Amino acid sequence: METIRIRTPLDELDARKLTAGDKILLSGTIYTARDSAHKRMIEMLEEGTKLPFQLEGAVIYYAGPTPPKPGRIVGSIGPTTSYRMDPYTPTLIHKGLRGTIGKGPRNEEVAGAMAEHGAVYFAATGGVAALISKAVRSMEIIAFEDLGPEAIRKLEVEDMPLIVAQDSKGGNLYVCNKIHNLK
């Protein structure tokens, strides 16, 4: 299977070309956010407050990195179980979020929003958090520092290895009869 290189910001046409099972090397700017940060972002949207980053074309990685060892940019940065963000994700997709990265299946509301708006869900393999950290070129906290590891971080990544787990066409690696692209 060919590996596809993509960059952020991710546009709708490129996201719609991706198919469940595609191997990806992602480069560009991504953001980390977990449960507490998602809750705050939704509250900000409800209040009409500007979010700490532009959602249009953005990719959020569900991760809370560990502190870096001396001379490193980031410590271990493995994926968090994605369903915990499912209550918030459709709203963010409707506002322009184009991709999410995590582990485990997403609910039907998330899948529906992905189909409607041309978004994609990438799986980061659990257990390879140290390997994923090698793709991180820079990291800075941009919001909610009080949340510690759950603060929103801006990451610059190069060739982050991912797999398209759910695509905008209904392909889903977590549901056997919904796989379109096993090569």
Name the catalytic one among 38, 94, 117, 180.
Answer: 38
pLDDT tens-place string over residues 127-164? 677 778 888 999 999 999 999 989 999 999 999 999 99
- Confirm whether pTM is higher than 0.75: yes
Query: What distances in angstroms separate CA 126 from CA 34, 101, 120, 121, 173, one per listed residue?
Result: 16, 11, 18, 15, 15
Given a cut of 90, is residue 180 above it in pLDDT? Answer: no
Largest CA distance in the chain: 46
Q: Could you confirm whether 38 is annotated as catalytic?
A: yes
Alpha-helical segments (H) within the chain = 12-17, 35-47, 89-94, 108-117, 129-133
Extents of the domains making up the chain: 3-172
Share the mean pLDDT of the chain.
91
Class of domain 3-172: alpha beta
pLDDT tens-place string over residues 32-45? 999 999 999 999 99
Q: Which residue would you say has higher pLDDT here, 81 or 76? A: 81
